[in-house]
Amino acid sequence: MRVIWRWRWGWEWWLHACAPVLALLALLASAASVRADETCNSPYLSNLIKGQEDYLYVWTLGVAGLGDGWDKLVTLDVNPASRRYGQVIASVSVGRRGEAHHVGFTDDRRFLWAGGLEDSRIYVFDLQSDPARPRLLRTITDFSSRAGLVGPHTFYALPGRMLIGALSNSRDHGGRTGMALYRNDGTFLRTIAMPTAHGGDGYGYDIAINPARNAMLTSSFTGYQNYMRDLGEVIKDGAAIKRFGATMVLWNLKSMAPAQIFEVPGAPLEIRWSLQAGDDWAITASALTATLWLIKKDDQGLWQATSVGVIGDPAQTPLPVDISISADGKALWVNTFMDGNTRRFDLSRPEAPVQTYVKHTGSQVNMVSQSWDGSRVYISSSLLSKWDKKGADDEQFVKLFAWDGKQLTQTWKVDFYQLRLGRAHHMKLGAAALHGAPSKQAPSTRAASAALTKAQ
């Protein structure tokens, strides 16, 4: 697929001049990828471990009349050696419903930021005090007025910073949006607008960084006017269907300026860089066209976005949502919401992915996360409150599957409706070993904790 636009302001010169620094970044990124596989997380996350995770944090949408009805962070015990394995061990409500969606760790993994797509509130949870029982430390209520954005979606850790990708804007609630940069202590720094010139559509969704390539990729979805409507209405509305993103942007990571715009129709969503040392490619899936796209340099050394395969039958709109790449970059899990399937693709040749496995894992499935050692797969059910299915098909769960290299076998299921918790959405992994006593925190962590507590 053709590149819509490529900025030519000399960042190739910067790459040459800073080659030693980038080589060090590449070494650090490689070391992190060997130690753990957390495919939805920033490469800057420190203290990654390889082995058995202890906790699964689930950001959950409240449902009126169900339990307290509020959005909440739910903690599951996921260590097989525990007597409470596969059970809920903690739940922290935020006192309102705001379309809970995604969460992200700060770079020290001691704080978890979570956002609401409807009310644009941001919640900061403290994990360091007791990782088994997170506590709500701070609520940021001025995201829209400060950043001019609506729908904080992707929370992506930078060194000492949090980069937040939004889905909409505060002016017209349309799809043109941007990213907001914060300090770890919650201080707002600036807004970075998605490009609208030279073929850019201004839409946003996911963020994915490759420090070794000085590259950041962003994808595109739709604005508040669409994601807060019933999915059936959106599909039948010709004008609404046109209000979905159709581009990806390659950014210069150092300057946070756009470098290239790619035409990727059909709302490209989650982006995953290969974690294998030496690889220089990323993959995404477009939701509306059920297509896999590869972002990789061509023989001339220029980045290109290329359609490389389909997911199921695109004519049936399976709606691929979340994806998870293996630690060696050789396989990709893909969840398709409409048909409730979890697929595995062989990425040995990323230019030609091959589906090697499929399993029906629920009436509706959304997020998929691999364990740190790659032998287990976590799946949650909810997409958006007004896009989830109705009636008996509106299952709300988190399931754990064992992966033996040939098939998925369900280990346990936590029914979020039965427990009156709500709609299970985004998941993050945690472990007690990642958190030391407060007195042993690094100076930067102590400062962030003090600032957040003071601002509470």
- Distance in Å from the first CA to the final CA of the chain: 48
Report the C-alpha gap between 248 and 250 in whole angstroms. 7
Under a CB-based contact definition with an 8 Å cutoff, are residues 364 and 340 in contact? yes
Q: What is the pLDDT of residue 249?
A: 98
Q: What is the pLDDT of residue 39?
A: 57
- Residue 60, H or E segment: strand 55-61
Report the C-alpha gap between 442 and 23 in whole angstroms. 26
Query: Does the structure show a pLDDT above 80 at 342?
Result: yes
Residue 154 half-sphere exposure, CB side, CA atoms within 13 Å? 27
Cα dihedral across residues 364, 367, 370, 372: positive or negative? negative
Query: Does the structure show a pLDDT above 70 at 22?
Result: no
Amino acid identity of residue 191, one-letter, is T
Query: Does the structure show a pLDDT above 50 at 326?
Result: yes
How confident is residue 261, by pLDDT bands cut at 50, 70 and 90? very high
Report the C-alpha gap between 392 and 106 in whole angstroms. 38
Report the C-alpha gap between 160 and 210 in whole angstroms. 17
Query: Does the structure show a pLDDT above 90 at 19?
Result: no
Under a CB-based contact definition with an 8 Å cutoff, are residues 207 and 159 in contact? no
Report the C-alpha gap between 309 and 290 in whole angstroms. 9
Q: What DSSP state is assigned to residue 109?
A: S
Query: Does the structure show a pLDDT above 90 at 453?
Result: no
Query: Does the structure show a pLDDT above 80 at 437?
Result: no
Tokens 């490529």 found at: 6
Residue 359 pairs with which residues in a beta bridge? 342
Strands across the sheet with 188-193, in order? Answer: 149-158, 161-169, 178-183, 188-193
Rama region for 443: left / alpha / beta (φ>0; ψ in -120 to 50; rest): alpha
How confident is residue 29, by pLDDT bands cut at 50, 70 and 90? very low
How confident is residue 4, by pLDDT bands cut at 50, 70 and 90? low
Q: What is the pLDDT of residue 186?
A: 97
Q: What is the pLDDT of residue 434?
A: 79
**Token couple for 307:** 């359609």
How confident is residue 394, by pLDDT bands cut at 50, 70 and 90? very high
Query: Does the structure show a pLDDT above 60 at 37?
Result: no
Q: What DSSP state is assigned to residue 244?
A: B
Q: What is the pLDDT of residue 47?
A: 61
Residue 398 half-sphere exposure, CB side, CA atoms within 13 Å? 30
Query: Does the structure show a pLDDT above 90 at 429?
Result: yes
Over its C-alpha atoms, the chain yields an Rg (Å, rounded) of 20
Query: Does the structure show a pLDDT above 70 at 450?
Result: no
Q: What is the pLDDT of residue 46?
A: 65
| Residue 298, SS3 per DSSP | coil
Q: What is the pLDDT of residue 49?
A: 72
Report the C-alpha gap between 384 and 99 in whole angstroms. 7
The model carries a pTM of 0.90
Query: What's the rounded mean pLDDT across residues 328-357?
Result: 97
Report the C-alpha gap between 367 and 241 in whole angstroms. 23
Count CB atoms within 10 A of the CB of residue 150. Answer: 24
Q: What is the pLDDT of residue 48?
A: 66
Count CB atoms within 10 A of the CB of residue 252. Answer: 18
Each residue's pLDDT tens digit, 42-90 = 999 866 677 789 999 999 999 999 999 999 999 999 999 999 999 999 9
Q: What is the pLDDT of residue 3?
A: 65
pLDDT more than 90, % of the chain: 82
Each residue's pLDDT tens digit, 198-249 = 999 999 999 999 999 999 999 999 999 999 999 999 999 999 999 999 999 9
Query: What's the rounded mean pLDDT across residues 431-452?
Result: 52
Residues sharing a CB contact under 8 Å with residue 26, sequence separation 6 or more, in sequence order: 211, 212, 277
Query: What's the rounded mean pLDDT across residues 96-117?
Result: 97
Residue 435 half-sphere exposure, CB side, CA atoms within 13 Å? 21
Q: What is the pLDDT of residue 6?
A: 64
Amino acid identity of residue 125, one-letter, is F
Under a CB-based contact definition with an 8 Å cutoff, are residues 429 and 112 in contact? no
Nearest by Cα to 187 from 98, 108, 106: 106
What DSSP line would sit under 356-370, residue for residue?
Answer: EEEEE--SS---EEE
Residue 240 pairs with which residues in a beta bridge? none
Under a CB-based contact definition with an 8 Å cutoff, are residues 59 and 76 in contact? no
Tokens 């829209």 found at: 144
Query: Does the structure show a pLDDT above 80 at 27?
Result: no
How confident is residue 15, by pLDDT bands cut at 50, 70 and 90? very low
Each residue's pLDDT tens digit, 278-305 = 899 999 999 999 999 999 999 999 999 9
Mean pLDDT over all residues of the chain? 89
Q: What is the pLDDT of residue 276?
A: 86
Residue 391 pairs with which residues in a beta bridge? none
Each residue's pLDDT tens digit, 303-325 = 999 999 999 999 999 999 999 99
Under a CB-based contact definition with an 8 Å cutoff, are residues 127 and 134 in contact? yes
| Residue 281, SS3 per DSSP | strand
